[in-house]
Amino acid sequence: MPEIRVTPLGAGQDVGRSCILVSIAGKNVMLDCGMHMGFSDDRRFPDFSYITRSGRLTDFLDCVIISHFHLDHCGALPYFSEMVGYDGPIYMTQPTQAICPILLEDYRKIAVDKKGEANFFTSQMIKDCMKKVVAVHLHQTVQVDDELEIKAYYAGHVLGAAMFQIKVGSESVVYTGDYNMTPDRHLGAAWIDKCRPNLLITESTYATTIRDSKRCRERDFLKKVHETVERGGKVLIPVFALGRAQELCILLETFWERMDLKAPIYFSTGLTEKANHYYKLFIPWTNQKIRKTFVQRNMFEFKHIKAFDRAFADSPGPMVVFATPGMLHAGQSLQIFRKWAGNEKNMVIMPGYCVQGTVGHKILSGQRKLEMEGRQVLEVKMQVEYMSFSAHADAKGIMQLVGQAEPENVLLVHGEAKKMEFLKQKIEQEFRVSCYMPANGETVTLPTSPSIPVGVSLGLLKREMAQGLLPDAKKPRLLHGTLIMKDSNFRLVSSEQALKELGLAEHQLRFTCRVHLHDTRKEQETAVRVYSHLKSVLKDHCVQHLPDGSVTVESILIQAAAHSEDPGTKVLLVSWTYQDEELGSYLTSLLKKGLPQAS
Amino acid sequence: MAAHLKKRVYEEFTKVVQQQQEEIATKKLRLTKPSKSAALHIDLCKATSPADALQYLLQFARKPVEAESVEGVVRILLEHYYKENDPSVRLKIASLLGLLSKTAGFSPDCIMDDAINILQNEKSHQVLAQLLDTLLAIGTKLPDNQAIQMRLVDVACKHLTDTSHGVRNKCLQLLGNLGSLEKSVTKDAEGLAVRDVQKIIGDYFSDQDPRVRTAAIKAMLQLHERGLKLYQTIYSQACKLLSDDYEQVRSAAVQLIWVVSQLYPESIVPIPSSNEEIRLVDDAFGKICHMVSDGSWVVRVQAAKLLGSMEQVSSHFLEQTLDKKLMSDLRRKRTAHERAKELYTSGEFSSGRKWGDDAPKEEVDTGAVNLIESGACGAFVHGLEDEMYEVRIAAVEALCMLAQSSPSFAEKCLDFLVDMFNDEIEEVRLQSIHTMRKISNNITLREDQLDTVLAVLEDSSRDIREALHELLCCTNVSTKEGIHLALVELLKNLTKYPTDRDSIWKCLKFLGSRHPTLVLPLVPELLSTHPFFDTAEPDMDDPAYIAVLVLIFNAAKTCPTMPALFSDHTFRHYAYLRDSLSHLVPALRLPGRKLVSSALSPNIMPHEDPSHQFLQQSLERVYSLQHLDPQGTQELLEFTIRDLQRLGELQSELAGVADFSATYLRCQLLLIKALQEKLWNVAAPLYVKQSDLASAAAKQIMEETYKMEFMYSGVENKQVVIIHHMRLQAKALQLIVTARTARGVDPLFGMCEKFLQEVDFFQRCFIADLPHLQDSFVDKLLDLMPRLMTSKPAEVVKILHTMLRQSTFLHLPLPEQIHKASATIIEPAGESDNPLRFTSGLVVALDVDATLEHVQDPQSTVKVQVSYPDGQAQMIHPKPADFRNPGPGRHRLITQVYLSHTAWTEPCQVEVRLLLAYNSSSRIPKSPWIEGGEMSSQVETSIEGTIPFSKSVKVYIMPKPARR
């Protein structure tokens, strides 16, 4: 029995360390290869020894697919390919390919240089790893080998995020990675066609949330910033370098342009500049507005947003500063925060979630006096705002995608077990498809019934079509032909052609049958009687009386002869070919009933 | 050649008008050159290869064919068709047959038999499809012939089983266009089998080819358009198609569902998987709402658009479209809109500053949450958040239409519309502002909403700001704080963008007059008066101060207690403003001052009947008095013209009619005067320039007729006839005058011929209206046409002269609604003393801002003229995008005009004015042959002449010599 097997090595009932193994029609594919943010020991990477204890990974995996550049989807890639050892192809989209090494390098720097970890992958390893990458275009079907093909769909979420369809023969799996069904200021919405996969593996971060319209949030954000700037205050927005930061930049940039504001906006430098560069290049991956206007002006070439310099923090007057990192736990954002916290005219806007223990979390939970290092107490007088900008699909969005793709089964990953439970129940209820939510290391096996394509010769098809009158989708149609199985492909051809191809001579197969009739008259008369009887019964067939005394119905021959022993009985010899079996047996049964009495 | 052509054209007409002249026509036909059909035949016989033949056919298709030779051409084509083996040539012939059968004046029933005949023997699918298309053209040409239609439907049904999708498509199209509407007619039509077209088409909803499915739905829609009532059973079939794999099928299915829902809104349909039943229109609404989140944006746009026109839907379904039950971690959450509303009602003025003030509240019952509703839930929320701006605009439009019909829905959708003011695409923002304006009588803005609305005033786009001003003109504000806020923001806008001055003042005028009671408590603060102290008198020229005063004075109009709060200088300022800005400042009933002009104000008059009657009477008087002696007629005309002009000035709503009729009368007057001239009494032709008056009159009449034709909106065909008739008379006059004064006969020949062509043209364009022109100049002229054709110029002139004198005065029927086009240049104002300096040879851009009223199609007609002091004049064509349409009948032109000149020694003034370009030949109906060809585009763009229709504005410029 053919089947699809799915085993999450990470992200099974969990967020982070996305890594899912899929076996489909004898092909093994690994989807994503991420790290876990919550751990700094061995658990941060997926357990690749699950795949194979001894042999090389390359022998077991046909390919690896990375959905987007977030570290929880690609963080373990150098470790996996260089340290564990994998030489097969790694597929990702071009923006991911461009931005991924920047983030990996950043991650490496923090782990090795800051935390002093040994036995971590090196810069060279990142480079070597990236050499194994094969770039994929949107909607391009890539043949991994003769049978396995993959295709990328737009997923929103971050620049270059993609959903992948993995297809072998008629069996297919769609993996969504992270996606977003509502467009934002710089990216469009995820889209997939009605590809009807056997299995849809979808993220479920917001399985139990239905979000408010994005516009309210944007408006609130802009209003807050605008008011503060008009008051002459400074606005600090701590961000992580990629993703949301660009969205907020575009938002502010267009607002500044629209409202003709003069206050400067700064972006703290670092890897952002490099990343912004890539954002400028990958215009086809952005939303409609940016795509339409980039010829006049590339939206990522910010007019109002300039690079930040340390000295600017002390300059008077209003300004808006984007600074890393996003949780105010260290670095530039914290430095600026310290300088500005004392003034009630200023404002800090936290655009995302903050981990417990960080300054960000403290001020969000309402703490107004912060102890800094050196036993200094910092009084926070500035306003603190929280604004959530997240780019995952909410419950409705997930349902919408499931509705669009029309899968036979759904599998949930990248979410919390409790929330998945709810969504699972909903999906089963609404779409009447089975839904799975395996934990890490747990295998889901789906039996499939792959359809086997059979080629039909055009001549045969046309001949059969010509017989039917109206197309009717509801009724199955009977088709006579010969099935040729040759080199694992199947063809249906007419029997004549099959014979010709196989070089065989046609054998005539004839059935003959004798029917005894009680009739005292002569043979010829009997034949005439049979003829007239059949003529009256079989109106749509061609019944002929041949000069030699025999009767034909289409190609069926009927001869009458006298019985050798009993002259009162006539023997009717009925003979037909194999092709006319249906008519032939009908005729014999008809003749066996006897002829009607002549009047 | 020209004469020959003229004769040919002439024949066509006589055929229609008079029986006896047909003989002449046939006689003259013999003179024609080898007919087109013959030439084609020769060409086709010459063709050696299919490619050659195709070339000939293509060449042939470029030129039009006259109606009478169509049949011959068709025969030749058919003959060649039978012989041709190459399918591409046959295809071209088939398409030519279709084109030919569309020729006006040709009845294609004679070629139908042949077409059906060749259809039966045709093997190529493409040619078959083209032939069916030809049959469709034939069928649509003969809409009344039931038998032919039946036959064609029969043919279509026969070919429906074809294997090619193209053929099936065409068959369905044929069925949709020609399928009989009533069954009763079908039965007695020559015993052909009764066919249920709807059923046949419906069967193809499940065709294997998506293109055929689409064609089937389209055919069904076509049947509906032709007035056939669709069965209700189609609804369930169409619903199935909503989940089709192909977007064009889904898109068409959405339309079909909408049509059925409009036909059977009240019938009841069951909800699958439950025992409940709902109204069909509600069910359809739910289904179309569901399509707003379809995978294809084409379908989304279609669905969003159609939602707007489903007004019969129940209100709770409607309100669901704005409802998206939020939850977070399975707990019910309130939307930001609800929170804002709550904050507002609780009286607290703060926007949630705490983290987690949007924290979810109560638990949600997991069973009750329905993530994909079959209903309308949140359709608009999705539509307004869509990725494609086309969908968003469609959603906003739909929202607008639904809100106009349901006040409660209007109230609810307000939050969403306000949110759209921050869209990233300007078009969407603009559209939502316009929408809001349209529904503004149903709504009252809350303060927090007003806040968001006013924030947009700082937008750098002028269109957005002006649209917003328009919106504020007709919004209802609930509190005095709201008014104050609006005023403050508008003043801020004024300081930031001083060019918005006029628009802001106008906005404040309406804001004041709509909310007098809300303005009242604000007056002391706004005027900064103090109970004890006198405050400094504000600067009278400050636009901001004027803005405040406009608000207050307009509020004071209906609030008699307000003037008591004014200080002395306010009254002085009132007097000044009432004079200088009378359109913004109303007349006030101030203590101690007499109200002078209130009785004269036009809107006090309840009924405009007396003045209208007066107009009618004076016109009738003129029309009845045509047989009086010339002197009396002239006087009467003069008086009537004077009366009409005065009436137009007094009654603005009658200005269009009065002006229009006055112009006509003036033309008549000029004509009479010209004919009264002494010059005619001299028997011999005068070769001296004594006929200044007559020729000037002719010229002026021409000008006036062009004005009448093109400067008024709402002119109907019957007026156009009269106008053209008048122009024809003027041309005749011109001809006579020239004949009298010009030396020699040679120029006269050309003029005569030209004039006769004009008459011909007139007859061709207005053939339907000729019966109304009994006894007129043209009527007589046409009677004598055959004689004129053959006579010498001198004779023609003589005839014309007598006819002109005898011709009666045609009654000009007044159109229902007529408005004179007018334009005002707002900018440049022409007041500046500082010349615009620029280096000679380079260009300077001059901003032109003008309002146009009652101009039809301004994009192609309105031009800007710049005349330099040296007499040089330039005509500038503004870009179509420079025209805005702020309201019905109104346009706004905001453009830049580039000026350049060689160096001057002193600054000098150039004149800028607006012109209305016209082209009288644009009224000629085009034949199908020329459609899409290069010729038509030339006709469109060419300008015959221009009419200045705005006052010219002087701009001071100074091109300096370039410094080396």
B298 domain-assigned: yes
Q: What is the pLDDT of residue B684?
A: 56
Q: Whose CA is closest to A198, among A19, A2, A424?
A: A2
Q: Please tell me the distance from the alpha carbon of residue A203 to that of residue A423, in angstroms, as a whole number.
A: 11
Q: Is B327's Cβ below 8 Å from some Cβ in A?
A: yes
Q: Inform me whether the pLDDT recorded for A93 exceeds 90.
A: yes
* Closest-approach residue (CA) in chain B for A465: B163
List, in order, residues 6 or more apart from B720 with CB less than 8 Å away: B709, B766, B923
Same domain, B625 and B739: yes
Name residues whose C-beta falls within 8 Å of residue B15's C-beta, 6 or more positions apart in sequence.
Answer: B21, B22, B25
Q: Are residues B252 and B284 in the same domain?
A: no
The residues in B 414-453 lying below 8 A from A, measured between CB atoms, are 416, 419-420, 422-425, 452
Best of B371, B393, B450, B464 to disrupt the A interface (most A CBs within 10 Å) is B371
pLDDT for A503 equals 87
Residues of A within 8 A of B161 (CB-CB) are 469-471
Confidence at residue A136, expressed as pLDDT on a 0 to 100 scale? 94
pLDDT at position A386, please? 80
pLDDT at A32: 93
Q: Which residue of A has its CA nearest to B340?
A: A216
pLDDT above 80 for A409: yes
Q: Which residues of B touch A223 (CB under 8 A)?
A: 351, 452, 455
Distance of CA A216 to the CA centre of its chain: 31
Instruction: Clarify whether residues B205 and B258 are in a common domain.
Output: yes
Cβ distance B422 to A212 less than 8 Å, yes or no, reads no
What's the ipTM? 0.78
Alpha-carbon gap, residue B447 to B433, rounded angstroms? 17
Which pLDDT value is given to residue A174?
95
Residue B272's contacts (CB-CB under 8 Å, 6 or more residues apart) are none
Report the CATH number at residue B418: 1.25.10.10
pLDDT above 90: residue A155: yes
- Shared domain for B63 and B136, answered yes or no, is yes
CA closest to A396 among chain B residues: B371
- Euclidean distance between CA atoms B652 and B656, whole angstroms: 8
Q: Average pLDDT in the A357-369 region?
A: 82
Say yes or no to pLDDT of A64 above 90: yes
For chain B, residues with pLDDT lower than 70 are 1-41, 181-195, 273, 324-376, 591-609, 625-630, 678-691, 742-745, 920-943, 964
Does any domain span residue B604? no
Q: Is A384 on the interface with B (CB under 8 A)?
A: yes
Same domain assignment for residues B584 and B452: yes
B206 & B158 share domain: yes
Instruction: List residues bridging with A238 in a β-sheet.
Output: A323
pLDDT score at B846? 87
Q: Which of B820, B823, B815, B862 is nearest to B712 (CA)?
A: B820
Query: Cis omega before residue B813 (within 30°)?
Result: no
Asked if A438 has any chain B CB less than 8 Å from its own CB, the reply is no
Last residue of a domain, one of B257, B272, B287: B272
User: What's the pLDDT score for residue B802?
Assistant: 80
The per-residue pLDDT for range B784-840, each reduced to its tens digit, is 777 777 777 777 777 888 887 777 777 777 777 788 888 888 878 777 778 888 888
H helix intervals, A468-563: 495-502, 523-537
Quick check: is B875 in a domain?
A: yes
Task: Return the residue of A nearest to B157 by Cα.
Answer: A470
Contacts of B324 in chain A (CB under 8 A): 210, 212-213, 396
Least CB–CB distance from B459: residue in A259, A287, A404: A259
Is B213's Cβ below 8 Å from some Cβ in A?
Answer: no
Question: In this structure, are B421 and B405 located in the same domain?
Answer: yes
- Residue B27 has what pLDDT? 43
> What pLDDT score does B250 carry?
93
Mean per-residue pLDDT over chain A, rounded: 85
Between positions 535 and 594 of A, the ones with CB within 8 A of B are none
Residue A97's CB is within 10 A of a number of other CB atoms, namely 19
B378 touching A, CB under 8 A? yes
Q: Last residue of a domain, which of B782, B806, B830?
A: B806
Choose among A223, A383, A419: nearest Cβ to B353.
Answer: A383
The predicted-structure confidence for A100-146, as pLDDT tens digits, reads as follows 998 898 888 878 887 778 888 899 999 999 999 999 999 999 999 99
Give domain status of residue B401, yes or no.
yes
| B327, B330, B387: residue with CB nearest A288 | B387
* A288 chain-B contacts, CB cut-off 8 A: 387-389
Judgement on whether residues B825 and B745 belong to the same structural domain of the protein: no
User: Which residue from B894, B895, B896, B908 is spatially nearest to B840, judged by alpha carbons?
Assistant: B908
| Residue B566 sits in the same domain as residue B640 | no
Give the number of domains in chain B.
5
- Reduced to 3 states, what is the DSSP secondary structure of residue B123? coil
* Alpha-carbon dihedral sign for residues A128, A134, A137, A139: negative
Residues B742 and B630 in one domain: yes
Q: Closest to A212 (Cβ–Cβ): which among B335, B354, B458? A: B335
Residue B364 counted as domain residue? no
Measured between CB atoms, does B365 come within 8 Å of chain A?
no
Q: Which positions in chain A touch B207 (Cβ < 8 Å)?
A: 471
Closest CA to B702 of B664, B678, B731: B731
Answer whether B889's CB lies under 8 Å from B713's CB.
Answer: yes
Mutant choice from B240, B422, B429 vs A, greatest count of A C-beta within 10 A: B422
pLDDT value at residue A6? 94
CA B203 to chain centre: 40
Question: pLDDT value at position B682?
Answer: 60
Question: If phi over 0 gives left and psi between -120 and 50 gives alpha, with beta otherwise, what is residue B876?
Answer: beta
- The pLDDT score that the predictor gives to residue A28 is 92
d(CA B383, CA B419): 13
pTM of the model: 0.74
- Partners of residue B422 in chain A, C-beta under 8 Å: 215, 218-219, 222
**Residue A335: how many CB atoms within 10 A of its CB?**
14
SS3 per residue for B12-46: HHHHHHCCCHHHHHHHHHCCCCCCHHHHHHHHHHH
Best CA proximity match to A180, nearest among A349, A387, A438, A389: A389
Residues B552 and B634 both lie in one domain: no
Query: B857 and B878: one domain?
Result: yes
CB contact under 8 Å between A419 and B329, yes or no, is yes
Among chain A residues, CA nearest to B246: A194
Q: Does residue A329 carry a pLDDT above 80?
A: no
Nearest to B372 among A208, A399, A470 (CB): A399
What CATH number has the domain bearing residue B949?
2.60.40.10
Report the residue from A193, A288, A365 with minimal CB separation from B295. Answer: A193
Residue given tokens 């066609």 in the structure block: A193
For residue A426, name the pLDDT band (cuts at 50, 70, 90): confident
Q: How far is CA A225 from the centre of its chain?
A: 39
Contact A193 B335 (CB under 8 A): no
Residue with tokens 């109002």: A304
Give the residue on B whose Cα is nearest the Cα of A353. Answer: B355
Q: What is the pLDDT of residue B745?
A: 65
Residue with the bigger pLDDT between A474 and B379: it is B379
Considering only CA atoms, which of A465, A588, A463, A452 is closest in space to residue A530?
A: A588
The more confident residue out of A357 and B22 is A357
CA B889 from centroid of its chain's CA atoms = 10
List all residues 6 or more positions away from A507 whose beta carbon is below 8 Å from its beta carbon: none
pLDDT, residue B189, reads 42
Are the CB atoms for A154 and A162 separated by under 8 Å?
yes
Angle, helix B746-765 to helix B717-741, in steps of 10 degrees: 170
Which residue, B389, B411, B442, sits at the end of a domain? Answer: B442
What is the three-class DSSP state of A52? coil
Confidence (pLDDT) at A413: 92
- Active centre residues of A (catalytic): 203
pLDDT at position B342 is 61
Nearest-CB residue to A208 (from B206, B329, B353): B329
For residue B507, what are the domain limits? 444-590
Q: How far is A78 from chain B (nearest CA, A)?
A: 36
Q: Which residues of A touch B333 (CB under 8 A)?
A: 210, 212
Classify burial at B602, counting beta carbons within 10 Å of its beta carbon; exposed 0-12, middle 13-18, buried 19 or more.
Answer: exposed
Chain A residues 13-72 with CB within 8 Å of chain B: none
